[in-house]
Structure 1
Amino acid sequence: MSAQPGFQTHVHTLGKGARRALALHCTMAFGGAWAGVARALSGHITLIAPDMPSHGKSDDWDEVSHLSDTAVISAASAMDDAPMDVIGHSFGAMTALRIAVSYPERVRSLTVIEPVFFAISRQDAPDTIESYESHSEPFAQAVQDRDWETAARAFNGMWSDDAAPSWDSLPERTRAAMVRGVHVVPGSRSVLYEDDRGLLRPGGVDAIAVPTLMLRGQNADPAIIAANDGLVARIPDARQAIVPGAGHMAPITHPDATAAIWKQFLDTVGQEALRV
């Protein structure tokens, strides 16, 4: 891996339960975005939630090192020595997959929420990628122009649904944080589209041996549905569940439903029962 030298990670601790999980957030959020899920599991689970590069209080990505490598190594550095449950959302879900492949001895269970693993969609359902890329043209143009405010606004609109606040209704501080973080999106393309870290090669996701839950919103983008379905087909002990009424941002817009489904899954892993 080629991580950013000297990268400093800020880590949030949410909840006070005996069971401990690593929680990895989506692009343009931060570790505290898991607060709703943590509240729903209050007293039963502790979430260790690092801020990814250029997000929250973590260092900015230097735009030179491999973004995904930096995210993986910084997240792994926040983990306990004992195996943990790992949950990730969107780009955080990609990081979670990589941790399960690279550090299998440290993962007790894996929960992957709408990973933006477009390399699978390209293989299994290329028409969904064509549709997604057509929809994302305004964002792509803003990135090409390095107009990060326009890019952040477009990206937020692409992945939000009716349950999420509009860009103009967001606090100025939140919009500024999104503008700061959106430059990581083009930096993630090689791992998401090209699978340059080999997750789809033999010994990648097909070697994940822990119980795995693939979770998505009922209203997920077709490219995301293809990625979820493709991972279920490739990971030996994987199952899938759907958050009713949710879009891409289920852990934030539907935290109680997300937590309830996750709890049911964790109860099958053989650790102490959780009660929501």
Structure 2
Amino acid sequence: MARPLGFIHCGLADARAWDGLIDSLAMDVDPVLIELPGHGTAEDWDESRDFSDQAVEIALEALPPDPVPIIGHSLGAVIALRLAIEKFYRVSSLVMIEPVFFAAVKGTDVGDKAARDMASYKRKLGSGSPAMAARTFFELWGNGRPWDEIPEDIRRYMVDRIGLIEAGDVLLWEDRPELLRAGRLEEIDVPVTLVEGAKSHPVVPAIVDALGRRIKGAE
């Protein structure tokens, strides 16, 4: 019988981002593809609500009632972390790929650098240039592929959703749910794997290290 496995993608992506990984898995899995508000086929973000609250709600509706392993990337990794802390009875293990939980390195040199690097895309977005904002954001956080080589429909998809990136700031930069409060990370009682990429922004290894020091048994 196929094993359910939850996946939560990064910002500006959709469930298709996991196709390559799913195809490469040696085990027989039943993928539960969770899409963030305003992404893919998910409902639009309700701007009267906290973005991550809505994302958690979408995830809980998609996941089976019994605990399952969850893999998250970037913003999706931090949503998955919130599930593992607040809805621990629904998560049997957690893999966080390049978690962009900037609040974990607040006040550090590398955290300050990340904030400065993000300022350029925010200025472009604030000046009414979503296409330039999306390009700048992708060049900072993408996979290294030149923007002009991305298929036009995918570029348009990202441009249309670039405003949603700031919706995650209260989670990623401010930790509104207080996931970093003393004792919360330490209470996680499932296997946790933290993954950084060879070409990740320098803030990612620092975040991985900060989280790994507090989550018992994290690899």
TM-score after normalising by structure 2: 0.94
Distance 1:146 1:66, change over 3 A: farther
Q: Summarize the alignment of residues 125-164 of structure 1 with structure 2, pairs less than 5 Å apart.
A: 126-162=108-144
Deviation at 1:207, TM superposition (A): 1.2
Pick from 97, 113, 116 the counterpart of residue 100 of structure 2: 116
| 1:200 aligned partner, one-letter code | L
Distance 1:146 1:60, change over 3 A: farther
Partner residue in 2 for 1:246: none
| RMSD after superposition | 1.5
Q: 1:143 aligns to what SS in structure 2?
A: helix
Identity of aligned pairs, percent? Answer: 34
Q: Deviations over 1:33-58 (max 9, x none)?
A: 10001100166122211221111121
Matched pairs, number? 219
* Long gaps (5+) in structure 2: none
Q: Distance in 2 between matches of 1:149 and 1:201?
A: 37
Partner residue in 2 for 1:66: 50
- 1:55 matched to 2:39? The reply is yes
Q: 2:4 aligns to what SS in structure 1?
A: strand
Distance 1:161 1:105, change over 3 A: closer
Q: Deviations over 1:101-133 (max 9, x none)?
A: 11111111110111110011115xx10022222
Asked if 2 retains the 8 angstrom alpha-carbon contact of 1:200 and 1:206, the reply is no
Asked if 2 retains the 8 angstrom alpha-carbon contact of 1:54 and 1:180, the reply is no
Pick from 190, 197, 203 the counterpart of residue 217 of structure 1: 197
Distance 1:63 1:147, change over 3 A: farther
Partner residue in 2 for 1:235: 215
Q: Distance in 2 between matches of 1:151 and 1:63?
A: 20
Partner residue in 2 for 1:167: 147
Q: Distance in 2 between matches of 1:193 and 1:135?
A: 14
Deviation at 1:144, TM superposition (A): 1.9
Q: Distance in 2 between matches of 1:158 and 1:128?
A: 15
